Amino acid sequence: MKRKLTAMLLAGALLSVNTAYAIDSYRYLHVSIETPWMIFLFLLAAVFVPFVLMIVLMWRIQLRKSLDKSSAKSRDTEN
């Protein structure tokens, strides 16, 4: 019963949709020749920031491993 009531409410909501609620996006947004460049630069940063972060983290981990190895070697030579 609940499922039928939900289906009837959904059907009623879909049938009562009016096109007056649609928003004309070009009325509120100014689109110029610079807009694709701004989108391109945003996506370029969104793609390359994770790669830069990955390289920095790999470099840091490798540096930490090499420092641990050199300290282990120095401890071995002291004994």
pLDDT per position as a tens digit, 18-71: 655 666 666 666 778 888 898 999 999 999 999 999 999 999 999 999 888 887
pLDDT at 26: 65
Q: To which residue do tokens 């009837």 refer?
A: 8
| Six-digit token string for 36 | 């694709």
pLDDT at 54: 97
What pTM, to 2 d.p., does this model score?
0.48
pLDDT at 58: 96
| Six-digit token string for 8 | 């009837």
For the chain, the straight-line distance linking the first and the last C-alpha, in angstroms and rounded, comes to: 82
pLDDT at 45: 93
